[in-house]
Amino acid sequence: MSLTQNLRQQCTQQQTIVVVEDCDSERLLLANLLRSLNHKVSSFCNAKDALNYLRTHQVDMLITDWMMPNMSGIELCKAIKSNNNPPYTILLTGKNENDSIIEGLNSGADDFISKPFHAGVLKVRVLAGLRIIQMQQQLTIHNQTLNLLLAKEQEYLKTLKQDLQSAAQLQQALLPQNNQLNQGWRVNTTFKPAQELAGDLFQCFEIDEHRIGFYLLDVSGHGTAASMLSFTLAHYLSPNQNAWQTGDICGLVNLLNQQFDDPQQAGRFATLLIGIINTKLNTVELVNAGHPAPIVVTEQAAHFLDANSLVNDELNCSAASNTEIRQHSANNQLPIGLDPQYLYQSYCVNLPKQSQLLLYSDGIYECRNSKFGCFGLQKLLKNINEARELPAEQLLHFLSYSADLWQEKQAQDDISLMLISSCPQPTNTRQH
């Protein structure tokens, strides 16, 4: 039987009362009167015996005479007052002066009855005291119930936290683990989820000796729901998918769009930037599904990658033979999940030699400052231009730190940065 059940049972059982009275006739009268009210009564002729009994027994109420030899009722009240759960105490006294009443209540008594007492008055005072006892017992039940619920909730939260930490570790494991790629290329990344889990997921890997595959996926929202959806979508973008070998990134994106599911009808969607770099030709084929345009960083300047860099010769592109190359900006295709019938198309651009390609999620430029508003793409590009001579790792740290300061160190959305470099890292570390 649980503690709560025990307490409920106690509330419905007869109450246990101890009577302490040195006068035999009055002690007998009190005991019989209380038993007639269906209470369990133990009586003692002196305070010392009663105190010994109280040390080993839990009782609900104590009725004691004030004036007794050796130990008075006042002394008995003081002795039991330090107990963890002292009984409700009624003091019997022939003293009616205010000072005496105050002294009795200060000693630990909860109520008093003047002698000679009237049987009806005694019954009413006892019943009033028992109501208080029952309310205290009910309060104990509620407190115990709340403590049990709190303990369960804390255990649940502990388990949930452990699960979230395991999921976060799994998410980290899906990110690029080695920054060294083929032909001297490399990748550097920064990942800052707004919560334990993120809706962002990205990867960069070698396809073969002369091709590098990459993507950055950003599911709307953040936290557990967005993370679970990004995990599901990442399965279709796995480096093990044959479409990477055949160069059919349009097929990958179309499949992803068709398989996108929003079971809660929460209006979720995903933006995606996916591509294949040909390190031999220094070209990159891209499919952009509503994602912010990548930024090309060279020693001279940083600029958004757009149609001005399009490859005109389809043979120079690593796309599959059925891929239509369109001259369009990097942002004019629908996000994933809006139209399952939409067909995505790729475009191919030249990369300047000794350049870097920066992919990023919208969390870095949509963060807001309470005074100055949105960070914005132009400020992001300005910061990159000012710090473009920094080594890749330091450049990403500078960008994420700038956004962190702008949003006053209160994460508003997931921030993902992936910098793919085709050249040796610069050594110029001028101050900015």
Element (H, E) at 419: strand 415-421
Q: Output the pLDDT for position 424.
A: 60
At 431, is the pLDDT very low, low, confident or very high (cuts 50, 70, 90)? very low
DSSP string, 199-230: SEEEEEEEEETTEEEEEEEEESS-SHHHHHHH
Each residue of 316-375: pLDDT tens digit?
444 433 333 333 344 479 999 999 999 999 999 999 888 999 999 999 999 999 999 999
One domain for residues 191 and 287: yes
One domain for residues 136 and 190: no
DSSP string, 313-375: -GGGS-S-TTPPP----TT-SPPBTS-TT-----EEEEPPTT-EEEEE-GGGTS-EETTTEE-
Last residue of a domain, one of 128, 143, 158: 143
164 in any annotated domain? no
Last residue of a domain, one of 143, 163, 190: 143
One domain for residues 36 and 181: no
One domain for residues 307 and 376: yes
Number of domains comprising the chain? 2
One domain for residues 215 and 99: no
427 in any annotated domain? no
Nearby residues of 432 by Cβ (< 8 Å), 6 or more positions away: 386, 387, 390, 398
One domain for residues 127 and 205: no
167 in any annotated domain? no
One domain for residues 258 and 305: yes
313 in any annotated domain? yes
Each residue of 26-58: pLDDT tens digit?
999 999 989 988 889 999 999 999 999 998 998
Q: Could you tell me the CATH number of the domain that includes residue 181?
A: 3.60.40.10
Give the pair of three-digit tokens for residue 191. Answer: 């990942």
pTM over 0.85: no
Where b means 16+ CB within 10 Å and e means fewer, 103-142 reads: bbeebbbbbbbeeebeeeebeebbeebbeebeeebeebbe
Last residue of a domain, one of 143, 166, 184: 143
Instruction: Taking residues 279-295, report their average pLDDT.
Output: 93
Residue ranges with strand state E in 21-118: 40-44, 61-65, 88-93, 111-114
Residue position matching structure tokens 């104590």:
62
161 in any annotated domain? no
User: Can you name the residues that pair with 278 across neighbouring β-strands?
Assistant: 211, 283
24 in any annotated domain? yes
Q: Could you tell me the CATH number of the domain that includes residue 70?
A: 3.40.50.2300
Report the candidate in 348, 353, 359 with the shortest Cα–Cα distance to residue 309.
348
One domain for residues 134 and 230: no
364 in any annotated domain? yes
One domain for residues 135 and 229: no
Nearby residues of 19 by Cβ (< 8 Å), 6 or more positions away: 27, 30, 31, 34, 41, 42, 43, 44, 63, 64
Query: How would you classify the pairing of strands 16-20 and 61-65?
Result: parallel
Q: Output the pLDDT for position 97.
A: 65
One domain for residues 44 and 85: yes
One domain for residues 342 and 401: yes
One domain for residues 208 and 276: yes
More confident residue, 152 or 162: 152
In which order are the strands placed within the sheet that holds 302-304? Answer: 186-192, 415-421, 356-360, 295-297, 302-304
Each residue of 295-321: pLDDT tens digit?
999 989 999 986 455 544 333 444 433
Q: Which domain holds residue 111?
A: 3-143
169 in any annotated domain? no
